[in-house]
Amino acid sequence: MNKVLLTACVCALTVSIALPAFAEKEPVDPDRKVDSELARVHGKFKRGAINLVSFPLEIPKQTKLVVDEGKNVPHKLVLIVPGVLKGVGYGIVRGVSGLWDLATFNVNYPKDSQPLLKPDYVWEGMDSD
């Protein structure tokens, strides 16, 4: 009889402990939207990390864009140097933007964590010819 009573008590204790796990999720502070805050922080951190890693890709991207813009130039090879220089400049800006996002990912600045550089990522805005 003692084993049955002990088993019943253990089962009741287990069920009573497990019940809060099935409770509805309530925000700690109803005025503060925790989920949107977490999404904002995660998005800003992700954008900063990706930009910090991918900033060298600005060099081939800008070189391609400069060469494609020079339609009337007979020798497109002369456009490579300005394209590389433009890519280095944009790459530095993208790297600094990534560092800024990583350093301030938990701060809501600029408003709504808008990126310092548009487009958000290096591969956005490229034409797929």
- Tell me, yes or no, if the pTM score tops 0.85: no
Identify the pLDDT of residue 91. Answer: 96
The CA-to-CA distance between both ends of the chain, in Å, stands at: 80
Which distant-in-sequence residues (6+ apart) come within 8 Å of 54 by Cβ?
94, 121, 122, 123
Q: Is the peptide bond before 119 cis (omega within 30 degrees of 0)?
A: yes
Identify the pLDDT of residue 63. Answer: 93
Q: Could you state, in order of their start, the residue ranges of all structural domains in the chain?
A: 32-113
Measured distance CA(4)–CA(105) in Å, rounded: 55
On the question of pLDDT at 97 being above 70, the answer is yes
Higher pLDDT, 12 or 129: 12
On the question of pLDDT at 80 being above 70, the answer is yes
Phi-psi domain of 3 (left: phi exceeds 0; alpha: psi -120 through 50; beta: other): alpha
